[in-house]
Structure 1
Amino acid sequence: MMTNIVFIAKTNLNNDGRILNQIKILNEVNYGKIKFDFILLPDKPVNISLDSNVEIHEINPLVRNSKILRPLIVLEFTFRALMKLIKLKPKVIHTQDFAVVLPVYIYKKFIRRKTILIYDDHEMPNENESFQYRILQRFERKLMKIADAVIYANSERQEILDKELGLSKSSYFLNLPYFEVVNDDSSKLSIDLQKKLNAIKLVKTEGGKVVIHQGALEEERGREKLAVLSSKLVGSQYRIVLLGISRQEFDAFLTQYQLSEDAFIFVGSVPYQSLDLFWQLGDIAVVMYLPTYINNRLCAPNRYFIALKNCIPTLVNKDNPVLFNFTNKYNSGFYIEDIEDVKKLDQVANHKYQSEVLSILKEEEINKFLSVYENFI
């Protein structure tokens, strides 16, 4: 008998490695036994292909990206998602983070109590969240308490929230790069991305070194520390490659800190399946989350594990306990606060560590994730 699983999320599915990996892991073991219906509030239009047993149900509210009208957007999504759940009558609902909790909570609490609910907690609430977010987080806590299983992003978050909420049926799933990239052919990239990839290859051909930074240039992600590092690289063989930001963000970053663009290669957004084409050229990866707020303090980002996969030495900030512990445990790199000059950076680039670390981690995490589902399929 086919098991109907509903995934529900607000995300840019094209680049959401966590969700894409979970679907693929389940399909590798259970293909032919399960069907996925994906209720999606898309941050961007879906332009990737999924397995034939995955059907996407996009919900596009009449108005989007308006702070004033956000309560109405939430209400419209809640109503339409609830109607979808009633129509689909899934055996399992896998809820991906707090932005979509309301329709699931109503469905589980008042319509079909027997539905199996898995709650995937991607983020911990920070101390400075808006009033609306705090309301959703209140429902998130209620949903977690009635869930049949809760999956966290790492063991540190699991320990804190299990204790706070009195939960016992929980696990965690690290954001590892579980599968090889689908698109390893650079000719499938856009012309613009091909030019940028070739520019990075040219740096390597001419004996230069590449420092990879993926993700937003936010204060909590070490914006100032990255600016300080880049100022030390002008005129050197090193170039910082920026992935996953807009040109506008990059220009604002250069202006704020009066930086030279010569220290950087701006790439911008790259499809998830093509990220490794850029990462494979890295000599160093910079991964930072400042401990300003609890969610950042306990963050284990996917890009740290992408670096691990490619055996790229990492530069992390000392005051993030998760990244600090990973760095010590896996001997994967150094601390950005200790980089005084290019010579120190050369030591990082020349650092070697064991390549089998990620393979061991992947096997552990896949088995752990499948064990959550084994009684439900």
Structure 2
Amino acid sequence: MNKNILLITTRNIIENTGESALVNRRSKHLGEVLNSKIDLLIFNKKTRQKNISQLREIKEYQDIIIIGYGLKTIIFNIFQFRKILKRYLKEKNPEKIIVSGVIFSIFIFDLLKKYKKTKVEIIYDMHGCLEELLEYPTKSKLYSRILYMFLKQSEKKVLGISNSVFIVSNEMINYIKEEYGLNLKTYFIPCGIDSEDFNRDYFRKEWRKKLNIKEEEIVCVYSGGTSKWQMIEETIDYYEKNLKKLNMKMLILTKNISKVEKIIQNLNYDSSNYIFKSLNREDVIPALTAADFGIMLRESTLTNKVAFPNKFSEYLKAGLYLILTKNVIEQYRIAKKYNVGFFIEDDKILLLKKLDKVFDKVEQYKKCDLVIKNELDYKNILKIRKIFED
């Protein structure tokens, strides 16, 4: 089933980010399943252009076209973006167009709408909800509100010309209906992982040695950044008040080590019981095997309700017991169904007793592999969902 596929994206899929992990892993397996190559048209910051080597390593990507923009040249770059897309559509005639990222999509909306008259399927790639701008503003509330209103209209327009939507959770189906009044065909593809053989015992031994962790020590890991929605402060507080009592060590894998150390200091905790490490993306999952528990807390917001953080799949790939909240609905469903998670909302005393007794690694690895096979393996998901079957 050979398809001519174009992926247009304004997301940061060039650097080591959660977005790049989702888009690139999915594209790799989409190309394999469909026996197709994917052309990339990227509109992103000029400063990121030098980091495209990891994209060229993905053999499913064919032509990679990057238009870099700068603050002073952005108007010119948008017209350049339009010109290149217009020429591409005329010359290549793609059958499938995936639009990933709403920022700047409004500036190519008319081209896509015009091209839609041909026999093409336009797929909008939705990773989350724009309400994140209001729930977790990174700038002033006024700026976030204005940006939200602009992007909300842009997303509505792009969804209006789309045939279907990639969604990362089933909660998004209702979100699209309620927010936009649209009943589109959806492809449910969570932020998954591959099910290729992975020697957890080997990597566990190797990374425990690298991180100076003794064989008998019990370790909880936090992997991620310091954005408010990732709840790093609450995670540290929960560790100090609960997990530390079980003689657990805390491993923190982050690019923001100094910032996390400052957070610990501001919370009046001692960082001597913590292990910090900054890693390249390819080392993250192998390093996670050094831990026993993976912690991922999220609060009750619309952003989290419809989301599916990559970390959930990565923790399971590493064979970890999960310590979670119940607020990421899709992940709560999976963790409960396969009994791979503990939820902090449950009775604290009973929870701590459970955490203190579960160390059957063989059984946990089996459960993790079953979850990956049934729920998270990209290749399997794409086949089951019959992606792009006419």
- Equivalent residues in 2 for 1:1-377, closer than 5 Å: 3-9=3-9, 10-15=11-16, 16-31=20-35, 33-41=36-44, 44=48, 45-48=51-54, 49-51=57-59, 53-63=61-71, 73=74, 75-89=75-89, 90-91=93-94, 92-110=96-114, 113-114=117-118, 115-126=120-131, 128=134, 129-164=144-179, 165-178=181-194, 180=196, 198-200=209-211, 202-205=212-215, 207-232=216-241, 237-271=247-281, 273-291=282-300, 293-337=301-345, 338=347, 345-349=355-359, 352-353=363-364, 354=367, 355-361=369-375, 362=377, 365-368=381-384, 371-375=386-390
Of the structure 1 ranges 214-223 and 15-24, higher mean CA displacement relative to structure 2 is found in: 214-223
| Contact 1:38 1:54 (8 Å CA) reproduced | no
Which deviates more, 52-61 or 249-258?
A: 52-61
Give the Cα–Cα distance (whole angstroms) in 1 for the partners of residues 313 and 2 of structure 2.
Answer: 34
Indicate if the aligned counterparts of 2:127 and 2:307 stay in contact, CA closer than 8 A.
Answer: no
Q: TM-score, normalised by structure 1?
A: 0.81
**Deviation of 1:342 (Å):** 6.9
Number of residue-to-residue matches in the alignment: 353
Deviations along 1:171-194, one digit per CA (max 9) or x if unpaired, are: 211111125499x9x99xxxxxxx
1:368–1:203 Cα change, 3 Å:
same
Counterpart contact for 1:14–1:47, Cα < 8 Å = no
The amino acid that maps onto 1:282 is A
CA distance in 1, matches of 2:266, 2:68: 36
Note if contact 1:153-1:172 (Cα within 8 Å) is conserved in structure 2: yes
Tell me the secondary structure at the aligned position of residue 4 of structure 2: strand
C-alpha deviations, 1:188-234, integer Å up to 9, x for none?
A: xxxxxxx987443x3143x2122121212333223333122332455
Whether the aligned pair in 1 keeps the contact of 2:169 and 2:330 (CA below 8 Å) is: no
Percentage identity across paired residues of the two chains: 18
* Partners of 1:197 and 1:312 in 2: CA distance: 14
Kindly indicate whether the alpha-carbon contact (under 8 Å) linking 1:333 and 1:348 is maintained by their aligned counterparts in 2.
no
Say if 1:172 and 1:230 are closer, same or farther in 2 by CA, change over 3 A.
Answer: same
Whether the aligned pair in 1 keeps the contact of 2:168 and 2:188 (CA below 8 Å) is yes
State the Cα distance separating 1:286 from its structure 2 match: 0.6
SS in 1 for 2:84: helix
Answer whether contact 1:290 1:297 (CA < 8 A) is retained. Answer: no
Looking at structure 1, the residues matched to 190 and 14 of structure 2 have their Cα atoms a distance apart, in angstroms, of 18
Q: How far has the Cα of 1:147 moved from its partner?
A: 0.5
